[in-house]
Amino acid sequence: QIKAYTQLKIAGLYPSAYWTGQAVVDLPLFFLILILMIGSLFAFHYGVYFYVGKFLAVIFCLIGYVPSVVLFTYVVSFTFKKVQNTKEFWSFIFSVTALLCTVVTEVSFFLDHYLVTTVLHYVFSISIPIYPLIGCLICFIKVSWKGKSESGGFHDPWDRLLVAVLAPYLQCVVWLFLLRCFELKNGGRTVREDPFFRKCFSKAKPWKFPDVPHEENEDEDVKAERLRVKEILSSPRSEEMPAILVSSLHKEFDERKEFLLGRKIKKVATKHVSLCVKKGEILGLLGPNGAGKSTLINMLVGEIEPTSGQVLMGDDSLGLSSEDDSVKFVGYCPQTNPLWPDITLQEHFEIYGAIKGMSQSDIKEVIKRIASVLDLKDHLQKTTKKLGMGLKRKLCFALSMLGNPRVTLLDEPSTGMDPKAKQHMWRAIRAAFKNKERAAILTTHYMEEADAVCDRVAILVSGQLRCIGTVQHLKSKFGRGYFLEMKLREAADVQQVEYLQSQILHIFPNASRQESFASILAYKIPKEDVQSLSHSFSKLEEVKHAFNIEDYSFSQATLEQVFVELAKEQEEEDSSFGTLNSSLWWERTQEDRVIF
Q: What is the pLDDT of residues 534-574, one digit of tens each?
A: 888 888 888 888 887 888 888 776 667 667 666 666 555 55
Q: Does domain 220-472 have CATH number 3.40.920.10?
A: no
Q: What confidence category does residue 324 fall into, taking pLDDT thresholds of 50, 70 and 90?
A: very low
Between CA 592 and CA 312 the distance in angstroms is 36
- Taking residue 381's Cβ as centre, other Cβ atoms within 10 Å add up to 9
Q: Are the C-beta atoms of residues 274 and 465 closer than 8 Å to each other?
A: yes
Q: What confidence category does residue 441 fall into, taking pLDDT thresholds of 50, 70 and 90?
A: very high
Q: What is the pLDDT of residues 493-520, one digit of tens each?
A: 777 788 888 888 888 888 888 766 667 8
Does 68 have pLDDT greater than 90?
A: yes
**Cα dihedral angle (95, 100, 105, 107), rounded to 10 degrees?**
130
DSSP 207: P
Q: What confidence category does residue 199 fall into, taking pLDDT thresholds of 50, 70 and 90?
A: low
Task: Please give the residue that has the higher pLDDT: either 253 or 442.
Answer: 442
Q: Are the C-beta atoms of residues 285 and 443 closer than 8 Å to each other?
A: yes
> 460 pairs with which residues across the strands?
465
pLDDT at 520 (0 to 100) = 82
Does 323 have pLDDT greater than 50?
A: no
Highest mean pLDDT among 202-206, 308-312, 438-442, 528-532: 438-442
pLDDT at 588 (0 to 100) = 35
User: How much of the chain, in percent, has pLDDT values that exceed 70?
Assistant: 73
Between CA 67 and CA 163 the distance in angstroms is 17
**Cα dihedral angle (90, 94, 96, 101), rounded to 10 degrees?**
150
Highest mean pLDDT among 166-170, 189-193, 446-450, 470-474: 166-170
Q: What is the pLDDT of residues 215-262, one digit of tens each?
A: 667 888 888 999 898 888 887 665 678 888 898 888 888 765 554 455
**Rounded alpha-carbon distances, angstroms, from residue 417 to 348, 390, 393, 412:** 20, 4, 8, 11
Q: Are the C-beta atoms of residues 481 and 592 closer than 8 Å to each other?
A: no
Does 318 have pLDDT greater than 50?
A: no
pTM for the complete prediction?
A: 0.74
Does 154 have pLDDT greater than 60?
A: no
Average of pLDDT values for 297-307?
83
Q: Which helix (H) or strand (E) holds 299?
A: helix 293-300
Q: What confidence category does residue 484 fall into, taking pLDDT thresholds of 50, 70 and 90?
A: confident
Lowest mean pLDDT among 141-150, 245-254, 289-298, 481-490: 141-150
pLDDT at 496 (0 to 100) = 77
- Taking residue 43's Cβ as centre, other Cβ atoms within 10 Å add up to 10
Does 24 have pLDDT greater than 90?
A: yes
pLDDT at 528 (0 to 100) = 80
Q: Are the C-beta atoms of residues 470 and 457 closer than 8 Å to each other?
A: yes
Does 206 have pLDDT greater than 60?
A: no
Average pLDDT, the chain: 77
- Rounded to a whole number of angstroms, the distance between the first and last alpha carbons of the chain is 48
pLDDT at 233 (0 to 100) = 82
Highest mean pLDDT among 133-142, 222-231, 474-483: 222-231
pLDDT at 175 (0 to 100) = 92
Task: Please give the residue that has the higher pLDDT: either 255 or 459.
Answer: 459
User: How much of the chain, in percent, has pLDDT values that exceed 90?
Assistant: 9
Does 406 have pLDDT greater than 80?
A: yes
CATH of span 480-556: 3.30.70.3400
User: What is the location of CATH 3.40.50.300 in the chain?
Assistant: 220-472
Task: Please give the residue that has the higher pLDDT: either 110 or 356.
Answer: 356
Helix axes 559-576, 471-478, angle to 10 degrees: 70
Q: What confidence category does residue 593 fall into, taking pLDDT thresholds of 50, 70 and 90?
A: very low
DSSP 97: H
pLDDT at 46 (0 to 100) = 55
Burial 77-107 (b: 16+ CB within 10 A, else e): beeeeeeeebeeebeeebeebbeebbeebee
pLDDT at 242 (0 to 100) = 86
User: Residue type for 374, please?
Assistant: L
Between CA 300 and CA 427 the distance in angstroms is 25
Q: What is the pLDDT of residues 138-149, one digit of tens each?
A: 776 666 555 434
Between CA 510 and CA 247 the distance in angstroms is 41
Lowest mean pLDDT among 53-67, 194-208, 462-476: 194-208
- Taking residue 578's Cβ as centre, other Cβ atoms within 10 Å add up to 7
Lowest mean pLDDT among 166-180, 315-329, 345-359: 315-329
Q: What confidence category does residue 71 fall into, taking pLDDT thresholds of 50, 70 and 90?
A: very high
**Rounded alpha-carbon distances, angstroms, from residue 350 to 17, 178, 333, 373, 432:** 17, 32, 17, 18, 21
Does 8 have pLDDT greater than 50?
A: yes
Which are the contacts of 476, defined by CB distance < 8 A and separation ≥ 6? none
Lowest mean pLDDT among 132-146, 198-212, 331-345: 198-212
Q: Are the C-beta atoms of residues 168 and 68 closer than 8 Å to each other?
A: yes
Does 86 have pLDDT greater than 80?
A: no
pLDDT at 47 (0 to 100) = 52
User: What is the location of CATH 3.30.70.3400 in the chain?
Assistant: 480-556
